[in-house]
Amino acid sequence: MLRVDEAQQPVEFTPELITRFDDIVSRYPEGKQKSALLPILHLVQAEYGWLSSAAMDKVADYLHLQDIEVYEVATFYSMYFLRPQGKYVLEVCRTGPCCLVGAEKIMDHIEQKLGVKEGDVTPDGLFSWRGVECLAACGYAPVLQIGPEYTFYENLTNESVDKLIEDLKAKGN
Amino acid sequence: MARKLLLEHINVPGINTFDVYRSKGGYASVEKALKTMSPDDVVEEVKKSGLRGRGGAGFPTGMKWSFLAKPEGVARYLVCNADESEPGTFKDRYLMTYIPHLLIEGMIVASFALGAKTSYIYVRGEMMPQIRILEKAIAEAKNAGFLGKNILGSGYDLELYVQPGGGAYICGEETALLESLEGKRGNPRIKPPFPAIAGLYGCPTVVNNVESIAAVVPIINEGGDEYAKVGIGRSTGTKLISAGGNIKKPGVYEIDLGLPVEEFLYSDEYCGGIANGKRLKAVVAGGSSVPILPANLFFKTAKNEPRLMSYESLAEGGFVTGTMMGSGGFIAFDEDQCIVRNTWNFTRFYHHESCGQCSPCREGTGWMEKVLHRLENGHGTLSDMDLLVDVSKKIEGNTICPLGDAAAWPVASAIRHFRDEFEWHVTNASEAVVRNYGLAHYADPLDIKETA
pLDDT digits (tens, 9 = 90+) for B337-357: 999 999 999 999 999 999 999
pLDDT at A152: 93
Residues 346-405 of B with CB under 8 A from A: 346, 349, 352-353, 355
Nearest to A139 among B184, B244, B349 (CB): B244
- Which residue among A27, A34, A94 sits closest to B182, beta carbon to beta carbon? A34
Distance from CA of A27 to the nearest CA of B (A): 7
Q: How far apart are CA B305 and CA B76, in angstroms?
A: 46
Chain B residues with CB under 8 Å of A149 CB are 128-129
At A34-65, the pLDDT tens digits run 999 999 999 999 999 999 999 999 999 999 99
Nearest CA in chain A to B283: A97
Measured between beta carbons, the chain B residues lying within 8 angstroms of A150 are 125-129
Residue A73: alpha-carbon gap to chain centroid: 15
The answer to whether the beta carbons of residues B89 and B242 sit under 8 Å apart is yes
Whether B331 and chain A come into contact, CB under 8 Å, resolves to yes
For residue B304, give the 3-state DSSP assignment. coil
**Of residues A158, A160, A87, the one with CA closest to residue A123:** A87
Span B407-451, pLDDT tens digits:
999 999 999 999 999 999 999 999 998 888 887 666 554 444 444
Task: Give the whole-number percent of chain A exceeding pLDDT 70.
Answer: 95
Q: Is B449 exposed, middle or buried (0-12, 13-18, 19+ CB in 10 A)?
A: exposed
B89 chain-A contacts, CB cut-off 8 A: 136, 138
DSSP string, B163-214: EE--S-GGGGSHHHHHHHHTTS--PPPPSSSPTTTS-GGGS-EEEEEHHHHH
pLDDT at B5 over 70: yes
Q: Which amino acid is at B450?
A: E
Backbone phi, then psi, for B272, in 5-degree steps?
75, 10
Distance, in Å, from the CA atom of B164 to the CA atom of B171, rounded to the nearest integer, reads: 11
SS (H, E, C) B310-331: CHHHHHCCHHHHCCCCCCCEEE
B201 and chain A: CB distance < 8 Å anywhere? yes
Q: How far apart are CA B288 and CA A138, in angstroms?
A: 12
Is the model more confident about A148 or about B219? B219
Could you tell me which of B213, B212, B205, B180 has the C-alpha nearest to residue B108? B213
Q: Give the N- to C-terminal CA distance of chain A in Å, as an integer.
A: 27
* CB within 8 Å of chain A, chain B residues 419-438: none
Cβ-contact A61, A70 below 8 angstroms: no
Q: Which of B92, B184, B346 sits opposite A96 (nearest CB)?
A: B346
pLDDT of residue A84: 94
Residue A139 at interface with chain B, using a CB cutoff of 8 Å: yes
pLDDT at A2 > cutoff 90: no
Provide the mean pLDDT of chain A.
93
Strands, E, within B13-140: which ranges?
77-82, 118-123
Q: Is the pLDDT of residue A4 over 70?
A: no
- Closest-CA residue of B relative to A77 is B166
Interchain CB contact of A124 with B (< 8 Å): no
Residue A96 and residue B331: Cβ atoms within 8 Å? yes
pLDDT digits (tens, 9 = 90+) for B39-97: 999 999 999 999 999 999 899 999 999 999 999 999 999 999 999 999 999 999 999 99
Residues 6+ apart with CB under 8 A from B408: B364, B392, B393, B395, B396
Q: What is the mean pLDDT of residues A7-33?
A: 92
Residue A144 confidence (pLDDT): 97
Residue B189 and residue B174: Cα distance in Å, rounded?
Answer: 9
The strand ranges marked E within B272-405 are 280-284, 293-294, 308-309, 329-334
Which of A97, A104, A135, A154 minimizes the C-alpha distance to B331? Answer: A97
DSSP character string of A44-97: HHHHHSS--HHHHHHHHHHHT--HHHHHHHHHHSTT--SS---SEEEEEE-SHH
pLDDT digit string (tens) for B84-140? 999 999 999 999 999 999 999 999 999 999 999 999 999 999 999 999 999 999 999
Average pLDDT, chain B: 95
Can you tell me the mean pLDDT for B29-43? Answer: 98
Q: What is the pLDDT, as a whole number, of residue B396?
A: 96
Looking at residue B438, what is its pLDDT? 80
Domains of chain A: 15-76 (1.10.10), 88-171 (3.40.30.10)
Residue B96 phi/psi, 5-degree rounding, is -70, -30
Q: How far is residue A56's CA from residue A59's CA, in Å, rounded to a whole number?
A: 5
User: What digits encode the pLDDT tens for the residues B262-303?
Assistant: 999 999 999 999 999 999 999 999 999 999 999 999 999 989
**Chain A residue at shortest CA distance from B84:** A136
* Each residue's pLDDT tens digit, B370-379: 999 999 999 9
What torsion do the CA atoms of B241, B246, B248, B250 make, to the nearest 10 degrees? Answer: 30
- Domains within chain B, CATH numbers bracketed: 18-229 (3.40.50.11540), 236-334 (3.10.20.600), 339-444 (1.20.1440.230)
Confidence of residue A172 (pLDDT cuts 50, 70, 90): confident
Residues near A131 by beta carbon (within 8 Å), at least 6 away in sequence: A91, A92, A93, A94, A103, A107, A118
Partners of A153 in the beta sheet? Answer: A144
CA pair distance B49, B240, nearest whole angstrom: 17
